[in-house]
Amino acid sequence: MSESNGDKISRIIISFILLLIAISCLAPVLNILSISLSGKQAVESGRVLLWPVDITLQSYETLFKGTRILSALGNGLLLTIGGVLLSMAFTICAAYPLSKKYFFGRRVFTLLILFTMVFSGGLIPTYLVVKSLGLIDTYWAIWMPGVISTFNMLIMRSYFEGISSEVEDAARIDGCNEWKLMSKIILPLSMPVIATLLLFYGVGYWNSFMSVLIYINSTHKYTITVLIQQMIQSQSLLTEALANDVTATQLIPEGIKSAGIIVLILPMVLIYPFLQRYFVQGVMLGSVKG
């Protein structure tokens, strides 16, 4: 069926609006990247917009030589990998039984979990509980209070519900118990939603900021998000970084700040293309039911 003129005009307008939105999201990132790769005089004169001028990697060299960026990166990776593994394990163990109609108390447990999306104990009670458990200044203080995201659990539960019951019946005939059914049959069929939630949890833990500031007291345990924030707000950190690198005479603080921001967002940018083919499918299929 041929497309009408009205549909063509609507499609063009929508495409133009989406293009403007994409440019508005991409332009700041390109500007920061350009500043991090540009020379001192080009940045100070305002000649750097969306393309680097007098390209140099000095900002990145100074960032890695003069700051704690490597240890902060390691802390961020530890927090993210550990948190994602814990969250995925608990989310799967919660979503799988709740997806079975024969599970006793399924509706009650679901309502209790949904209750937590509306009401919570608040920051101070949560801090007091974490402190009483002796978790302050450990990453467990960040992992445990939010180990399961209710929204993510509901997405996974809905996806599990959409898997054909005939597949489960065939597996049970072959002698699979619940654990084997979940690990050998259900999870391999659920790669789209697993990849989607891996990305959700990964971005959440990698960008953890307030929770690190609240629960972590030792500066050597700070993650890269906190370090970059401190670099942006504290001129002394940038002055120290410049002083530690004798070759940094052609740098300005804005270049190091921009380099730090690029290093912060780079891991997620590199990971996303590998999960993107599962991402849309996982979200759409996981939202069919629920």
Using CA atoms, how far apart are residues 184 and 103, in angstroms rounded to an integer?
A: 20
In sequence order, the 6+-apart residues with CB closer than 8 A to the CB of 205 are 79, 80, 83, 84, 87, 142
Query: Could you tell me how many residues make up the chain?
Result: 290
Is pLDDT at 84 greater than 90 in this prediction? yes
pLDDT band at 182 (very low <50, low <70, confident <90, very high): confident
What is the number of alpha carbons within 13 Å of residue 202 lying toward its C-beta?
16
pLDDT tier at 2 (50, 70, 90 boundaries)? low
Range of lowest pLDDT (162-171, 193-202, 262-271): 162-171
Q: What is the pLDDT of residues 95-141, one digit of tens each?
A: 999 988 888 888 899 888 888 888 877 888 889 999 999 999 999 99
Candidates 98, 137, 151, 128; CA nearest to 220 is 137
pLDDT band at residue 187 under the 50/70/90 scheme: confident
Mean pLDDT computed over 264-283: 73
Q: What residues does each domain of the chain span?
A: 1-56
Nearest to 77 by CA among 267, 229, 272: 267
Mean pLDDT of the chain: 83
Of 10 and 40, the one with more pLDDT: 10
Residue 239's pLDDT is what?
A: 61
pLDDT above 70 (res 33):
yes
Tokens of 14: 């929508």
What is the pLDDT at residue 278? 65
Among the listed residues 208, 245, 252, the one whose alpha carbon sits nearest the alpha carbon of residue 227: 208
Among the listed residues 197, 198, 226, the one whose alpha carbon sits nearest the alpha carbon of residue 211: 226
At 82, list the tokens: 């550990």
- For position 286, what pLDDT does the model report? 45
**% of the chain surpassing 90 pLDDT:** 20
Per DSSP, helices labelled H in 99-234 are 106-118, 123-132, 140-143, 150-162, 165-173, 178-180, 187-189, 191-206, 210-215, 224-233
Prediction pTM value: 0.81
As a whole-number percent, the residues of the chain with pLDDT over 70 amount to 87
The region of weakest confidence among 96-110, 165-179, 233-247 is: 233-247
Measured distance CA(107)–CA(88) in Å, rounded: 22
Quick check: 5 pLDDT over 80?
no
Number of Cβ atoms within 10 Å of the Cβ of 189: 15
Top pLDDT among 22 and 289 is at: 22
Q: pLDDT tier at 289 (50, 70, 90 boundaries)?
A: very low
- For residue 282, pLDDT beyond 90: no
Q: Which pLDDT value is given to residue 172?
A: 81
What mean pLDDT comes out for the span 6-28? Answer: 88
